[in-house]
Structure 1
Amino acid sequence: MMPNLGLKASTSLEQTNERLQYHPSVFEFYTDEHDMTKNGLVHLAEMIKYVQSTGVRHIVIHHPMAYDHHHNEVAVSALKDPDGYKFMMASADALIELAIKLNVQVLIHGGYSDNDAVVNAFGDLKTGRKVIFDRLDYFQQLGGNHVMFENSISPAFDYGDDEIEKEVMAHHYRLCYDISHGFIVLHGDNDKLVKSVERLAPQTVHYHFVDSMGEHHDSLQLGKGKVDWQRVMKVVNPKATNIYEIDLADQNDSREMRASHDYLTKLMAAEKIS
C-alpha cells in the first residue's frame, strides 16, 4: 500500500485552507462540542461541502473527544452522568445523519477512560465493555457504511487485546486502526502489533498513522518513535484510507503531518526498489 496524504484539521477555515493547499486525498475533521450546536452543525456541513468542492473524495468526521472538560465516552453511564450520555448519543446521531446526507464517514472512538473509570461507571470492566458493544451495534445499524470505530489505549476498547479483537470481528464492525494506540497497548512490541494489524486488516477501512515510543500517548511524527513501519505497511489493508494524526507545534501548520507522509512514502518506495 502506498499511503494517502491524509490531513486532519478543525472546522476553522484557516486550518482547512492550510491543509487544502497541499492537495490531500483524505481529510479528517476534528470536531468539538461547539461544532455540535445548531449553528456549529450548519458550519460543519458547509466546511464538508467546501472540502468536497476542491475534489477531496474521502472525508471523515471525528466524533468530539471531549464534553464539559472531560472525555466524551461511549462508555458513559446514563444514570451517573445523564448530561454526558445525552451529549454522546445526540452528537453521534447528528454526525451520522450528516454523514449519510453528504456521503462522508463518521469516526467514533471506542473509549478513552482507564480501567478505574470504567469500573466506577459500571461496576466492572466486563459490564462496561458490554455497554460499549451494545452502543456500537446501535451506531453501526444507524450509520451502516458511514460509520467506523477507533481503538483506544483504554482497556474498554483496545485492539491488541484478543477478547476485544474477537468481538469486533464477530460484530463485523468497520474499523479505524490507530497504530500508535495498538503499539502502546502492546507495550512497544512490534511483533504483536503486526499480528494485530494483520488480523483486523479485512475490517479496517481507515488508519491513523502515528508513531510512538510504546509507553504512553505521545502522538509522534513518523520516524521519531519505535513503530516498525516497514513491517506494519506490509499487513495494512491496501484499500483503506489514512491520515497522519500527529501532535503539531502549530495547529495552523501541518508540517509534522506532511513530514510523516514524506517519511512513509520514501520508505515504501525504497522497499519496492529493494
Structure 2
Amino acid sequence: MMPSLGLKASTSLEQINDRLQYQPNVFEFYTDAHDMTKNGLAHLEEMIKYVRGAGVHNIVIHHPMAYDHHHNEVGVSALKDPDGYQFMMGTADALIELAIKLDVQVLIHGAYSDAREVVAAFGNLETARQVVLDRLDYFQKRGGDHVMIENSTSPIFDFGNPEVEQAVMAHHYRLCYDISHGFIVLHGNNDKLVDSVKRLALQTVHYHLVDSMGDHHDSLQLGKGRVDWYRVMQVVNRKATNIYEIDLANQNDCAEMLASHEYLNQLLRTKQVS
C-alpha cells in the first residue's frame, strides 16, 4: 500500500547501511559507470543480496545516468557515438540479466533532459522518439516483468505529453512515474499532473516521489515545492512501489527522504481525519 518507505543509495556500503537502519520497504540502487565493470557488477550483486538479507524484498536497480560525462541516452546514435551506444546497450543487457537472476527490477530512463543532441542525431523529434520506442520494446521483451521505464522532462519521453502517453499505453510498458518530471513538463499545473498520473496509473509499477517548483529539475523534499501531494496520492496505483528521490545534503544521511515520508504520511492522516 502506498506510500512505502522507499530509499535510494549508491552501491556504497556506508550509504546502504544508513538506509537499512530505517527498515525501508523498497530499496533503489543508483548505479554509475564504475558499477558496470566486471568487479562492479559482482559488487552490485553482493549488495543486492545484502539488502535482501536485511529483509527488503522490493529492490530496483537504476540504469546508469551518465557515460563519459554525457547522459546515458537510450536514444544515442550507434553511428555517431558507437562507444556510448555500446555502453548503453551493454549495461542495460547486463542489468536485465542480473535482475532476472536475482528477481529484482531494472529501471531505464526513456530519455534525459536535453533532447537537442538526440534529435540532431536522427534528424527530427519523431524519428528520435521512434528509435527510443524500438529500443524500449527490446528491453521490455528481454526483461519482461523485471523492467520498468521512467519518464523524463525531454520531449522524447515526457509524461503529460499526449503523444508520449498514447505511445506508452499502446506499447504496454511497465512504468516508473517520476512525479517531479511530470510536474515540470506540465509547467507546475497540478490539475494536468493529476490527470496524467491517473491516466497512466494502471501501467505504473513504481513512483519517484519528489517535489518541485515546476520550473526545472530541482529534486525538492516533499512539502518544499508546489506539487499537490494529497491530490496526486488519490490517483496513484496503490499496488505500486515508491522511493523518495530527493537531493541530499549528505549522501551518507537520508534525512531529507525520511522527512519526505513523514510529511506525506502526516498530510494523508490529517486530510483523512478532516
Give yes or no for contact 1:73–1:113 (8 Å, CA) kept in 2: no
Unaligned runs of 5+ residues in structure 2 are: none
Match of 1:180 in 2: 180
Amino acid paired to 1:189: N
- Among all aligned residue pairs of Structure 1 and Structure 2, give the percentage whose two residues are the same amino acid: 77
Aligned residues: 274
Match of 1:99 in 2: 99
How far has the Cα of 1:117 moved from its partner? 1.6
Match of 1:165 in 2: 165
How far has the Cα of 1:269 moved from its partner? 1.2
How far has the Cα of 1:271 moved from its partner? 2.2
Structure 1: distance between partners of 2:113 and 2:246 = 21
- Per-residue CA deviation, residues 55-88 of structure 1 (Å, 9 max, x unaligned), is 1010000000000011000000000000000000
Task: Give the TM-score of the pair, scaled to structure 2.
Answer: 0.99
Match of 2:112 in 1: 112
Alignment map for 1:11-160 (pairs within 5 Å): 11-160=11-160
- Per-residue CA deviation, residues 109-138 of structure 1 (Å, 9 max, x unaligned), is 000142322221110000000000000000
Structure 1: distance between partners of 2:39 and 2:76 = 26
Instruction: Determine helix, strand or coil for the equivalent of 1:231.
Output: helix
Match of 1:5 in 2: 5
How far has the Cα of 1:268 moved from its partner? 1.1
- Per-residue CA deviation, residues 245-271 of structure 1 (Å, 9 max, x unaligned), is 000000000000000000001111112
Question: Which stretch of the first structure deviates more once superposed, 190-199 or 263-272?
Answer: 263-272
Match of 2:264 in 1: 264
Match of 1:198 in 2: 198
Structure 1: distance between partners of 2:116 and 2:8 = 31
Match of 2:251 in 1: 251
Judged with a 3 Å threshold, the aligned counterparts in structure 2 of structure 1 residues 259 and 113 are, in CA distance, closer, same or farther, namely closer
Structure 2: distance between partners of 1:119 and 1:155 = 10
Give yes or no for contact 1:76–1:85 (8 Å, CA) kept in 2: yes
Match of 1:222 in 2: 222
- Per-residue CA deviation, residues 152-174 of structure 1 (Å, 9 max, x unaligned), is 00111000000000000000000
Give yes or no for contact 1:2–1:265 (8 Å, CA) kept in 2: no
Instruction: Determine helix, strand or coil for the equivalent of 1:148.
Output: strand
Structure 2: distance between partners of 1:137 and 1:168 = 10
Unaligned runs of 5+ residues in structure 1 are: none
CA RMSD of aligned residues (A): 0.7
Give yes or no for contact 2:246–2:256 (8 Å, CA) kept in 1: yes
